[in-house]
Amino acid sequence: MTPKERAVAALTLKVPDKVPTFELEFQLEEEMFGRKFITEDLYPQNLAKLSQKEKEAKIYDLAQYFVHVYSSLEYSIIPGYGPGDMSRFWSEGILPDEMKLFLKYLRELIGDTMMIGFHGDGTFAIPDGDKMYEFAYAIADDPDGVKAKAEDMAQRAIKRNKVLQENGVDCLFLCSDYCYNTGPFVSPAMFEEFIQPYLYKIIDEARKDGLYTIKHTDGNIMPILDQLVECKPHALHSIDPMAGVDIREVKRLVGDKVCLCGNVHCAALQTGTDEEVIASAEYCLTYGKPGGGYIFCTSNIPFKGMNPERYKLILDVWKRMRDY
């Protein structure tokens, strides 16, 4: 199977030839492959100084580097975060020309062998500390206003996701965090009222457009697990072990309804022993893999500052245990 075929099989609860892998983002490219993805010459203000031909050459080189990195890692889904000022995209749904060109080159280089993923959420997430009181008061004092804002956010996300699909993206990472280690930031009843209907709309429209959806949230999702599954994402990420979420139990409860992604303990990757890291990766594959519907990855991302040898260690476990 191609990497994409493995991902599609897992996301549709079938059994591929091997467990696929990917990450929402990969931040160790400089340490493992020699240079950053977005270097200074790719900053918007520097690209603007180039001729069109020079700009195209820079962006094509970046696309080639992405393919080199993610092919070497054997990812099934490439996080397609390329160059350009994305501010208008997030506010108005207008994708910068640099990103359009980058996604075009990326698709030309990989053909149909890998997926391209991109952020696609538009639901309320845990507010920043200075916004938490404001959000809580709004729910109490103006619930209809909160719902109107949630609807507007969802419709903007739907518009953006259609633009992404038209430019070659085929998998959405829905990255609004809802949960602390102790549970969701709102009660399950409030989640059902102010978040779930809008998450459902985003996923439903994405499915209609032929996009795959991976719903990410850190933290203890167990109090809202059923609500997340009812929104019909293709997959749930990250099945967070640092919040006590056990992939074995989640697989038992909903493994026949949704693909599971993740669960390799990120804190252990940073501060644990090699033995703890290996044990976490083995546990995920032992209980996530059976029957299909599982994609191997960390419980967050391979973040800047992580020892690359630790990340290579879990990839070694994956290669040893990935065959069906």
| pLDDT tens by residue, 179-209 | 999 999 999 999 999 999 999 999 999 999 9
Cα 220 → chain centroid: 17
Query: For residue 149, what pLDDT is reported?
Result: 98
Cα 195 to Cα 7, 32, 243, 273: the distances in Å are 27, 39, 21, 39
Cis preceding linkage at 87, omega within 30? no
Query: For residue 159, what pLDDT is reported?
Result: 98
Nearest to 220 by CA among 197, 205, 199, 240: 240
Say if residues 303 and 23 touch (Cβ distance below 8 Å).
no
Give me the mean pLDDT over the 301-311 stretch. 95
User: What angle do the packed helices 308-321 and 274-288 form, to 10 degrees?
Assistant: 40
Say if residues 185 and 178 touch (Cβ distance below 8 Å).
yes
pLDDT category, 130, cuts 50, 70, 90? confident
Residue 140: what residue type? A
Cis preceding linkage at 238, omega within 30? yes
Q: How many CB atoms lie within 10 A of CB 61?
A: 13
Question: Taking the complete model, does pTM exceed 0.75, yes or no?
Answer: yes
Domains defined for the chain, CATH in brackets? 3-321 (3.20.20.210)
Is the model's pLDDT at 129 over the cut of 90?
no
